[in-house]
């Protein structure tokens, strides 16, 4: 009996760590890069993190919510023709909700939970974005804007959204539904499994023939265009380049002395001062020349 119990105890002790390291936790190891951008060396990334700045139009945080979103191939199994999906396709929150998203990627590839259309003054590129190579978990927080609006949430890895990893997040009443949300709205491009394989092959072959002919036509057209064009001026050093280089060489030591110890803004300010001075001098020169010519004309007039 004691033997049996100790074997049982050993089994529990040794299996516990295996269960615990099911997926990697990234929340504690993220480095803050500023502007709500956090990342770690293991491929975890949070963008648009905002736990304390209220969006314009929010007087206070209306609610504090926490959700866990799972992502993976297995959640797409119930959607015919889809390959990836989140476990939830529609989220609803009150305006001005402080929302923490725990994103659990269950696939051994990279997935994202990317939200679009947020105010750009608060969220870079209008995005809040969690990204991780799985199996792993990553978390981030944002404060939702006021008003009724439907936001797109998707995975932006090539073809993952088209293959089903797409959802909508409604703030307040939302402002309609987005297309092609698995199980929620109809696909914009409906999959068609009725066409037979021989038909598909015939179409593909016809398209390949057209594609093979196109570059030849394009090449011929390009050749005829080059023939009609006048020969272009060649050579690396044009007259203007040489003049510019010479002026630069003469001016460089003077400028180096002048700008020594100045900050970038001071240098720019000095250059603008010089430009203003130069424009002023040229204007004065022009007006005095004009005066000279006009006065000369006036003197000439009585003679004729």
Footprint of Cu ion (CB under 5 A) = 111, 155, 157, 160
3-state SS, one letter per residue, for the chain: CHHHHHHHHHHHHHHHHHHHCCCEECCCCCEECCCCCEECCCCCEEECCCCCCCCCCCCCCCEEEEEEEEEEHHHHCCCCCCCCEECCCEEEECCCEEEEEEEEECCCCEEEEEECCCCCCCCHHHCEEEEEECCEEEEEEEECCCCCEEEEEECCCCCCCCCCCEEEEEECCCCCCCCCCCCCCCCCCCCCCCCCHHHHHHHHHHHHHHHHHHHHHHHHHHHHHHHHCCCCCCCCCCHHHHHHHHHHHHHHHHHHHHHCCCCHHHHHHHHHHHHHHHHHHHHHHHHHHHHHHHHHHHHHHHHC
* Residue among 8 and 81 whose Cβ is closer to Cu ion: 81
**From the CB of 49, what's the least distance to Cu ion, in Å?**
20
User: Smallest distance, Å, CB 126 to Cu ion?
Assistant: 20
**Shortest distance, position 120 Cβ to Cu ion, whole Å:** 24
Question: Which residues have a Cβ under 8 Å from the Cβ of 141 and sit 6 or more positions away?
Answer: 49, 50, 51, 98, 99, 100, 101
Residue 110 · residue 43 · CB < 8 Å: yes
**CB closer to Cu ion out of 62 and 180:** 180
Measured from the CB of residue 142, what is the shortest distance to Cu ion in angstroms? 20
Q: Which two tokens stand for residue 142?
A: 């944002």
Q: Which is nearer to Cu ion, 27 or 162 (CB)?
A: 162
Looking at beta carbons only, is 106 or 145 nearer to Cu ion? 106
Please identify, using beta-carbon distances, which residue of 65 and 116 lies nearer to Cu ion: 116
* Cβ at position 189, least distance to Cu ion in Å: 19
Shorter beta-carbon distance to Cu ion: residue 40 or 162: 162
Q: How far is the CB of 45 from Cu ion (least distance, A)?
A: 13
> At closest approach, how far in Å is the CB of 89 from Cu ion?
15
d(CA 251, CA 255): 6
| Minimum CB distance to Cu ion, residue 133 (Å) | 10
Measured from the CB atom, is 155 or 171 closer to Cu ion?
A: 155
User: Which residues 6+ apart lie within 8 Å of 219 measured at CB?
Assistant: none
Minimum CB distance to Cu ion smaller for 82 or for 160: 160
């Amino acid at each position: 009996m004691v033997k049996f119990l100790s074997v049982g105890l050993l089994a529990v002790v040794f299996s516990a760590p295996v269960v615990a390291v099911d997926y990697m936790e990234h929340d504690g190891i993220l480095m803050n890069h500023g502007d709500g951008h956090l990342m770690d060396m293991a491929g975890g990334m949070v963008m648009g993190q905002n736990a304390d700045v209220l969006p314009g139009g929010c007087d206070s945080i209306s609610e504090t919510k926490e959700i866990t979103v799972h992502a993976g191939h297995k959640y797409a199994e119930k959607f015919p023709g889809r390959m990836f999906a989140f476990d939830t396709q529609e989220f609803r929150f009150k305006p001005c909700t402080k929302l923490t998203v725990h994103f659990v990627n269950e696939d051994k590839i990279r997935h994202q939970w990317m939200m679009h259309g947020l105010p750009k003054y608060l969220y870079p590129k209008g995005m809040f974005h969690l990204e991780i190579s799985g199996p792993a978990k990553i978390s981030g927080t944002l404060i939702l804007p006021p008003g009724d609006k439907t936001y797109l949430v998707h995975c932006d890895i090539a073809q993952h959204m088209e293959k089903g990893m797409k959802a909508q997040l409604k703030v307040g009443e939302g402002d309609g539904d987005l297309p092609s949300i698995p199980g929620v709205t109809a696909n914009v491009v409906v999959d068609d499994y009725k066409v037979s394989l021989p038909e598909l092959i015939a179409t593909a072959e016809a398209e390949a023939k057209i594609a093979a002919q196109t570059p030849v036509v394009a090449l011929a057209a390009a050749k005829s265009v080059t023939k009609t064009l006048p020969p272009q001026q060649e050579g690396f050093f044009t007259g203007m380049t040489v003049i510019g280089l010479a002026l630069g060489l003469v001016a460089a030591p003077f400028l180096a002395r002048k700008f020594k110890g100045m900050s970038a803004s001071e240098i720019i300010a000095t250059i603008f001062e010089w430009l203003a001075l130069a424009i002023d001098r040229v204007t004065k020169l022009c007006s005095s020349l004009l005066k000279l010519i006009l006065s000369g004309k006036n003197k000439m007039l009585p003679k004729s």
